Amino acid sequence: MRAKPEYRNRDETEVVVLDALADRHQEGMTVFEIRSRADVTIDQIEDALAALKDDDLIVVERDDERTLILPDEDVVGPETSEDDVSLLEQLRRRLPF
């Protein structure tokens, strides 16, 4: 899964974090799990999480053992693959319109 298109015009690191969280939107992820899915530094993840939290796009839940980060349910887009997307939509994404 990916974040909805309306949330994709953010900082590149924020989009990578949102996409990682959207993939596991029901179970949530720890910071280290996000780090393993995103090719960015811990400092970049920390900055991205702070910005996303300020904009109410993520929720942080703590239990006795760990802290989980979940995307807001409005952020998660529908499940699609490149096969499901029309050729016109694929071209529109790649070309600067």
pLDDT tens digit string along 17-28? 998 998 888 889
Q: How far apart are CA 6 and CA 66, in angstroms?
A: 30
CB atoms within 10 A of CB 68: 17
- SS3 state of residue 58: strand
For the chain, give the percent of residues with pLDDT over 90: 45
Q: What are phi and psi of 75, to 5 degrees?
A: -80, -30
DSSP H helices in the chain: 12-23, 31-37, 42-54, 87-94
CA gap 12, 68 in Å, rounded: 22
Structure token digits, residue 32: 């280290």
In the predicted structure, residue 10 carries a pLDDT above the cut 80: yes
